[in-house]
Amino acid sequence: MAKNDTARMVAKIKKQNGEIKRLKNELKAYIEGSVQLSRALDSILAQVALKWGAKTPDGATEAALPLISVSDTNEKYKVTARVGEDNASYIIRVEAKGEVSEG
């Protein structure tokens, strides 16, 4: 192998290693975001169960929710959320996508 070929291969490998490092960092950020979303969903579900659930004999709280299709729900409804004027609650608004209005 000629010196030029070796130099090109080394340069290519360095470039690929840089790309791998960039992609690993990007993946790490996506994983961290996924963990944060999971925790947020757990918190929302906990509040739903605590507000509308029933106490169990062992002292826990349970709420039964119907099974959902994420894709069907996202196709049919627009969901928005904001902090309430009291700064102590979230106002969650759900509208059928065909009936979405301003407000």
Task: Give tens-digit pLDDT for 18-46.
Answer: 999 999 999 999 999 999 999 999 999 99
Q: What is the pTM (predicted TM-score) of this model?
A: 0.68
- The tens digit of pLDDT for each residue in 53-98 reads 999 999 999 999 999 999 999 999 999 999 999 999 999 999 999 8
Q: Where are the beta strands (DSSP E) in the chain?
A: 54-55, 61-62, 77-83, 90-96
- Please state the φ and ψ torsions of residue 78, each to the nearest 5 degrees: -105, 130
